[in-house]
Amino acid sequence: MGALVAARCNPAIRDSYQRLLAAGKPKKLALTACMRKLVVILNAIVKSNSPWQAARAA
């Protein structure tokens, strides 16, 4: 569910999702890629113990 919201509202994830759809990927595959991107971003936040910074994610 978090990836669905991120694909709509988070600019970094939304751009990635739209780029995959434009390349002809199925919606489920694009959403799964966004899930993975979100998990990688969250793991980096936890590892570095720093708040979300949108400029670095893009």
List pLDDT tens digits, range 5-52.
Answer: 999 998 989 999 999 999 999 999 999 999 999 999 889 899 988 887
Residue 12, classed as helix, strand or coil, is helix
Domain extents in the chain? 2-47
Please tell me the predicted confidence (pLDDT) of residue 55: 62
Distance, CA of 55 to CA of 17 (rounded, Å): 18
Identify residue 2 by its one-letter amino acid code: G
| Token pair belonging to 1 | 């569910």
- Going by the DSSP 8-state scheme, the letter that residue 24 receives in this structure is T
Neighbours of 8 (CB within 10 A): 10
| Token pair belonging to 44 | 């980096």
* Residue 58 banded pLDDT, cuts 50, 70, 90: low
